[in-house]
Chain A
Amino acid sequence: MTLTSSDRQQLNYIASQAADARVNVEIETEGMTLNIGPQHPATHGTLRIIAKVDGEQVVWAEPAAGYMHRGYEKLTEVRSFPQVTTLVNRIDWLGSFANEVPFILAAEKLMEIEAPPRAQYIRTILFELSRIANVTLFLGDMAAQLGALTPVFYAFRDREYVLNLIEAATGGRFHPNFDRIGGLKDDLPAGFIDETRAVMKKMRSFCTLMEDVLLGNEIFQQRCRGIGVIPKDIALSYGLSGANLRASGVNWDLRRDQKLPMAWDKVDWKVWTHPDGDSFARYWVRLQETRESTLIVDRLLDSMPSGPIMAKVPRIIKVPEGEAWVSTENPLGEMGYYVVSKGDTGPFRVKIRSASFNNVSIASWVLKGVLIPDVITILASLYFILGDIDR
């Protein structure tokens, strides 16, 4: 008998529900509390998982965040608008440029200015480059969590090419601080376009390599297929976003489905979804998205307009009174800023909605009833960055 993927999802869901019920009904044996982290390699930083286990099965688990809380929401209140990008760079430190963009767009929305077309293109290209740099590491790291160390070295090697590009354009490998209200700090350096094309080719072959090495691997499939299934409605009600949501079969991408002064709507590309909602689906969707990103970059380079990279903005930026919400499809999921201005040089309040915060808050639901080794796979496949949880 062959199972279709939706059957499989349903069966997995029933199984996980049954596990819940079993845990509740069975006579309680003496459980054990297991601390995973804060210094566990599977936690990408300092996240601590407190798990109550019964034998090999997790009865109850909860992530304990806050080891890296830096209070950015408070700090933005004593900064001027252009200074905030320095802070938000450090939220998701693997895809820093992508953090700056929604904040700058929110400020521009309040000021009712728009970056010139060339700046929009370059922004989009750098945004996608930071996605590639970020997700590449995930593609290798996920294998490392399963005990296969080779892919992670490939990932670090190939990510370096992308970081070199970002460094060439912005001057910073991890913290570009390149986006400005009204445009960008600089134009692209000479030779950037040819170099980028070559690197995008390399990244596509990296994706193919990962596909060959991992996706068909029996151990990888056994560890990921049907593990950590998140059904669509649960994912939505927890506010899961990005590839985690698309891996649960929701066809929704903020790059395509909202109007932003960015260049994504100028080129053709595809949104990838997967109906299964398990760890494998999350890996698969991210892999396809990385390849799609390289294609987006290529196509944007083909159609890049010339012109200025900075709109006319006053030297001292005062943002008119109002409230604005802008969110974009960042490497980790939906990242948004709710910016309140009182007409001053700095924001009155900034609410930072980061993707990992919601993505990790589902952990206590999805980890219930799984086996201890699967905790690692599930957390790795949810893919979070600690700075993005704690802000």
Chain B
Amino acid sequence: MDAAPTPAAESAVVEAPVVPVVIDDEREAMVSQLRGVIGDALLEYHIKPHDDLWIRVRTDAWVAVGKAVRDVLAMDYFDFLSAMDWMPSPYGRGEDDPTAEPVERSTEVKQGYAGGATRFQIMARVMSSTRHIGVTLKADVDDANPVIDSWIPVYRGANWHERECAEMFGIGFAGHPDLRKLYLPVDFEGYPLRKDFPLLARMVKPWPGIVDVEPIPAHLDTDGGDAE
């Protein structure tokens, strides 16, 4: 029998609210609202039309900014916190032949949306559970002494994210009660997600994928080579 969904006992169904159409004006308004609270701690922002909002803030104001977005912009939902290493990897994609001459690669640091001044950046995403709109926050972290304040007083969920970030990028979180390693063995050395940490599996054995590539025979090539 085709059972109809009749969980009548639990009258817990809430009618779907009318979702406001999220437009870029709302994001602009959010930026100016935030600027009113944190002032010049808001360094730069980037709005990608019909997509998302990025805001870069001053490192020393990181916790204050967190509290401002939580309380003023009603971003009550903690999505994630992570870091970026903007230096391109000196090992490329790990496809080099280990017996050949090492390849020289540019390791010039170039940051993404909302700019930046350092190689490492912290990024965090928070959302509003009522307005269904989110923002990605970024903050520069000093390369020589990568430390930033912990977000645990702002969002409880930041705890594990900061532990992961600390072991993977070597970024310290001041005020974190328990910055032990989360995934890695206690005696692990190095910070695996930094770009200058080589992927050892690709170092000990040449990557086989690259030798298999043959050009497509001309009579089978229907859309004119490697279209770009």
Q: A: which residues have CB within 8 A of B?
A: 5, 65-66, 69, 71, 73-75, 77-78, 109, 201, 204-205, 207-208, 211, 233-234, 236-239, 245, 250-252, 256-259, 270-275, 284, 288, 291-292, 295, 314-316, 318, 322-325, 327, 334, 336, 338, 340, 342, 346, 348-349, 351, 353, 357-358, 361-362, 365, 390
Most buried by B among A73, A78, A351: A78
Min CB gap B74→A, angstroms:
11
The CA of A387 and the CA of B181, in the complex, are separated in Å by 18
A239 contacts B79, CB within 8 Å? yes
A252 contacts B132, CB within 8 Å? yes
The CA of A351 and the CA of B79, in the complex, are separated in Å by 12
A251 contacts B14, CB within 8 Å? yes
* Given A257-B132, A323-B113: A201 in contact with B7 (beta carbons within 8 A): no
Asked if B189 is at the interface of the complex by the 8 Å CB criterion, the answer is no
Cβ contacts B202-228/A at 8 Å (1 or 0 each): 100001000000000000000100111
What residues on B are CB-neighbors of A211 within 8 Å? 7
B12 contacts A274, CB within 8 Å? yes
B183 contacts A390, CB within 8 Å? yes
B78 contacts A295, CB within 8 Å? no
The CA of A318 and the CA of B228, in the complex, are separated in Å by 8
Interface residues in B1-29 (C-beta closer than 8 Å to A): 1-3, 5, 7, 10, 12-14, 16-17, 19, 22
The CA of A361 and the CA of B125, in the complex, are separated in Å by 17
* Given A65-B182, A340-B84, A351-B82: A275 in contact with B157 (beta carbons within 8 A): no
What residues on B are CB-neighbors of A295 within 8 Å? 5
B183 contacts A237, CB within 8 Å? no
Q: 14 A-B pairs, CB-CB below 8 angstroms?
A: A69-B183, A73-B168, A78-B95, A211-B7, A234-B156, A236-B76, A238-B156, A238-B157, A239-B77, A270-B16, A315-B223, A315-B226, A325-B136, A338-B125
The CA of A234 and the CA of B82, in the complex, are separated in Å by 21
Partner of A342, one of B16, B52, B88: B88
Min CB gap B32→A, angstroms:
22
Cβ contacts B117-133/A at 8 Å (1 or 0 each): 00000010100010010
17 new A-B contacts, CB < 8 A, other than A66-B183, A338-B125, are A65-B182, A74-B192, A74-B193, A238-B78, A238-B155, A239-B155, A251-B14, A256-B16, A271-B16, A315-B223, A316-B226, A324-B52, A338-B123, A351-B82, A353-B80, A358-B157, A362-B157
Dominant SS among interface residues on chain A: mixed
B192 to A, closest residue via Cβ:
A74
The CA of A233 and the CA of B5, in the complex, are separated in Å by 30
What residues on B are CB-neighbors of A315 within 8 Å? 223, 226-227
What residues on B are CB-neighbors of A365 within 8 Å? 156
What residues on B are CB-neighbors of A252 within 8 Å? 129, 132
The 8 closest A-B pairs by CB, nearest first: A66-B183, A239-B157, A69-B183, A238-B157, A239-B78, A361-B160, A257-B132, A208-B3
A253 to B, closest residue via Cβ:
B16
Cβ contacts B23-66/A at 8 Å (1 or 0 each): 00000000000000000000000001001101000000000000
Partner of B93, one of A77, A237, A322, A349: A77
B112 contacts A273, CB within 8 Å? no
What residues on B are CB-neighbors of A71 within 8 Å? 192
Asked if B72 is at the interface of the complex by the 8 Å CB criterion, the answer is no
Min CB gap A380→B, angstroms:
20
What residues on B are CB-neighbors of A334 within 8 Å? 79
Asked if B184 is at the interface of the complex by the 8 Å CB criterion, the answer is yes
Partner of B125, one of A77, A208, A288, A325: A325
B2 contacts A201, CB within 8 Å? yes
B89 to A, closest residue via Cβ:
A77
B114 to A, closest residue via Cβ:
A323
Asked if B94 is at the interface of the complex by the 8 Å CB criterion, the answer is yes
Interface residues in B114-172 (C-beta closer than 8 Å to A): 123, 125, 129, 132, 134, 136, 155-157, 159-161, 168
The CA of A351 and the CA of B112, in the complex, are separated in Å by 14
Cβ contacts B75-112/A at 8 Å (1 or 0 each): 01111101011001100011100000000000000001
What residues on A are CB-neighbors of B223 within 8 Å? 315
B136 contacts A204, CB within 8 Å? no
What residues on A are CB-neighbors of B22 within 8 Å? 259
The CA of A272 and the CA of B80, in the complex, are separated in Å by 25
B227 contacts A74, CB within 8 Å? no
The CA of A303 and the CA of B13, in the complex, are separated in Å by 26
Min CB gap B124→A, angstroms:
11
Min CB gap B69→A, angstroms:
13
What residues on B are CB-neighbors of A270 within 8 Å? 13, 16
The CA of A251 and the CA of B17, in the complex, are separated in Å by 8
Most buried by A among B93, B134, B183, B223: B183
Min CB gap B164→A, angstroms:
8
B80 contacts A336, CB within 8 Å? yes
Min CB gap B90→A, angstroms:
13
Asked if B174 is at the interface of the complex by the 8 Å CB criterion, the answer is no
Min CB gap A346→B, angstroms:
6
The CA of A233 and the CA of B184, in the complex, are separated in Å by 31
B156 to A, closest residue via Cβ:
A237
Partner of A236, one of B10, B52, B129, B132: B129
Cβ contacts B179-199/A at 8 Å (1 or 0 each): 001111000000011000001
What residues on A are CB-neighbors of B48 within 8 Å? 322
Min CB gap A162→B, angstroms:
17
A78 contacts B80, CB within 8 Å? no
* Given A78-B94, A204-B2, A323-B112: A338 in contact with B156 (beta carbons within 8 A): no
A205 to B, closest residue via Cβ:
B3
